[in-house]
């Protein structure tokens, strides 16, 4: 992650601009703080005149306040001569040193919460009595085999929601063992916090309700509902309406979840082929009559179906199928099931090879080896990588790709040719 960190990402600037506006202007109107990056910004008449505000729920502001302020503190303490000319931070261009430092702290926080989420998944698998080596490999495959190879590198909200989903899995495992009302309440609260970061995280309620006994549903609801109650008040205050003006449209369609999973454009299993093995592992766990196989399958499908109903499911402006980050803990269960049984060595080799293939697609994209379609930032189909098969890059081209993809390598070895 430290090698490939990529700044805030397009959508990450909306929350960052709001924090800047709160700190410098005492308001949430970001038309003078956006630095020309319009991702995630919408118009509002709230406040008596036209303004631009972020379209996201308020949790990102609470999440990023401490790293944002840490960056500002570093800007005050460091010598004025250091990075005096600012820093190039896409997509905003050259920004002042303080902006860069605050953005860097936010991205480092994303790195940290990704590792925390992985730790929680590993601990949950161990409590399911998965052998330590299998649990460790399954957890590693969750990271290297899915969209986190990209979305742990940017200041968007996918990494922290993944971490909360990992914590939810651990809480559910404990709760199922003990039947504790407090753990059911905590599970509801974790989902509530996740929804305050990304609305689609409400899909996590489906596997939680399956894992928690009906007698503990009132405690679960008591943890979840207070966080959901914040949203209408936030919408009314920020947008002047009782619903959010979010991008895209929602429609219940039979095309879901197959569009999200198998579409030639950013289909999950095409860009992240290792996850197909994890999905097969969930089917194996169900066949073995594991309750966690069923819970994991419901978790995976709930997230996939929900996002398949959204008009923006194909993520044309981003890399890969990021919307399934919420489902990665469930796929950790699938990896653990897939890696156990006959031909264990073959299963491990297949899973690692599939993860490596997905990682090569990632590297070719961030290194500029695979050209995206005109007007789009990233490859959209596997066909966009076809020229690399006909003309494989040599060592010099790979070195240039690494420079383009990595800020630390550029700082040491200089820019690409």
Q: Say if residue 223 is in the same domain as residue 191.
A: yes
Whether residue 302 is contained in a domain is answered as: yes
Asked whether residue 63 is assigned to any structural domain, the reply reads: no
**d(C-alpha 21, C-alpha 18), whole Å:** 5
- Position 242 in a domain: yes
- Give every CB contact of residue 211 below 8 A, 6+ residues apart in sequence: 172, 175, 176, 187, 295
For position 82, what pLDDT does the model report?
87
User: What gap in Å lies between CA 70 and CA 288, rounded to an integer?
Assistant: 49
- Asked if residue 52 is part of any domain, the answer here is no
d(CA 165, CA 156): 16
pLDDT for the residue 132: 97
Residues 342 and 387 in one domain: no
Cβ-based neighbours of 197, under 8 Å, separated by 6 or more: 57, 59, 60, 63, 157, 160, 161, 164
| β-bridge pairing 93-95 and 87-89 | antiparallel
Query: Are 329 and 387 within one domain?
Result: no
Are 371 and 347 found together in one domain?
no
> What are the 10-residue block averages of pLDDT along the chain, 417 residues in total?
89 94 94 88 75 94 97 94 83 89 96 98 98 98 97 96 98 97 98 97 98 97 98 93 88 96 96 98 96 98 97 92 96 97 93 97 96 93 95 95 90 85
- Classify residue 323: in a domain, yes or no: yes
Residue-by-residue DSSP string for 17-72: HHHHHHHHTSS---TTTSTT--TTEEEE-TTSS-EEEE-S-THHHHHHHHHHHHHH
Separation CA 81–CA 86 (nearest Å) = 10
By C-alpha distance, which of 411, 118, 128 is closest to 291? 128
Query: 293: how many CB neighbours lie within 10 A of its CB?
Result: 21
DSSP class of residue 327 equals G
Question: Residue 312: helix, strand or coil by DSSP?
Answer: coil
Task: Please calculate the CA angle 317-376-55 and round it to the nearest 5 degrees.
Answer: 30
Both tokens assigned to 22 = 């709160």
H helical segments located in 309-343: 328-338
Do 226 and 295 belong to one domain?
yes
SS3 state of residue 247:
coil
Is the same domain home to 307 and 201? yes
Q: Are residues 371 and 358 in the same domain?
A: no
pLDDT given for residue 369 in this prediction:
96
Q: Are 165 and 204 in contact (CB under 8 A)?
A: yes
Contact partners, residue 76, CB within 8 Å, separation at least 6? none
Tally the domains of the chain.
2
Rounded CA gap, 326 and 332, in Å?
12
Say whether 54 sits in a helix, a strand or coil: strand
Neighbours of 411 (CB within 10 A): 10
Whether 306 is covered by a domain: the verdict is yes
| Chain length of the chain | 417
The token pair that represents 43 in the structure block = 């118009």
Classify residue 84: in a domain, yes or no: no
Question: Is 25 a domain residue?
Answer: no
Same domain for 383 and 348, yes or no, is no
Q: Both 318 and 407 in a single domain? A: no
Contacts of 71 (CB under 8 A, 6+ apart): 98, 100, 101, 102, 103, 104, 105, 106
Check residue 408 and give its pLDDT. Answer: 84
Give the residue numbers spanning the domain of 406: 367-413
Q: 275 and 147 in one domain?
A: yes
d(Cα 63, Cα 16) in Å, to the nearest integer?
Answer: 11
Same domain, 283 and 304: yes
Burial bucket for residue 396 (CB in 10 Å: 0-12, 13-18, 19+): exposed
Which tokens sit at 416? Answer: 């690409």
3-state secondary structure of 51: strand
- Judge if 312 and 398 occupy the same domain: no
């Amino acid at each position: 992650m430290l090698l490939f960190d990529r700044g805030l990402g397009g959508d990450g600037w909306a929350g960052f601009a709001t924090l800047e506006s709160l700190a410098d202007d005492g308001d949430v109107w970001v038309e003078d703080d956006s630095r020309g990056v319009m991702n995630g910004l919408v118009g509002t008449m709230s406040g008596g005149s036209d303004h631009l505000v972020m379209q996201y729920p308020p949790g990102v502001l609470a999440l990023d306040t401490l790293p944002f302020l840490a960056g500002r503190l570093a800007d005050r303490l460091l010598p004025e001569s250091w990075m005096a000319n600012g820093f190039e931070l896409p997509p905003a261009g050259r920004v002042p040193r303080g902006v860069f430092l605050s953005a860097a702290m936010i991205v480092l926080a994303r790195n940290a919460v990704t590792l925390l989420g992985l730790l929680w998944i590993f601990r949950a698998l161990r409590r399911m009595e998965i052998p330590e080596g299998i649990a460790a490999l399954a957890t590693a495959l969750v990271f290297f085999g899915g969209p986190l190879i990209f979305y742990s590198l940017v200041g968007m909200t996918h990494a922290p929601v993944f971490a909360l989903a990992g914590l939810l899995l651990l809480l559910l495992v404990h709760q199922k063992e003990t039947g504790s009302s407090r753990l059911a309440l905590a599970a509801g609260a974790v989902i509530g916090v996740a929804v305050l970061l990304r609305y689609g995280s409400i899909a996590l309620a489906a596997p939680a309700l399956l894992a928690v006994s009906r007698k503990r549903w009132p405690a679960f609801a008591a943890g979840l509902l207070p966080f959901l109650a914040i949203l209408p008040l936030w919408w009314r205050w920020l947008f002047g309406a009782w619903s959010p003006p979010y991008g895209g449209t929602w429609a219940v369609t039979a095309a879901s979840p197959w569009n999200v999973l198998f579409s030639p454009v950013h289909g999950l299993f095409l860009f992240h082929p290792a996850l197909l093995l994890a999905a097969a592992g969930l089917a194996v766990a169900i066949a073995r009559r594991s309750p966690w196989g069923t819970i994991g399958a419901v978790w995976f499908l709930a997230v996939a179906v929900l996002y398949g109903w959204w008009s923006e499911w194909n993520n044309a402006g981003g890399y890969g199928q990021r919307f399934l980050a919420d489902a990665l803990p469930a796929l950790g269960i699938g990896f653990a099931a897939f890696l156990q049984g006959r031909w264990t060595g073959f299963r491990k080799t297949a899973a690692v090879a599939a993860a490596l293939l997905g990682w090569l697609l990632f590297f070719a994209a961030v290194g500029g080896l695979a050209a995206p379609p005109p007007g789009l930032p990233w490859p959209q189909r596997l066909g966009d990588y076809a020229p690399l098969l006909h003309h494989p890059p040599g060592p010099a081209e790979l070195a240039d790709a690494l420079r383009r993809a990595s800020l630390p390598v550029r700082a040491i070895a200089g820019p690409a040719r």
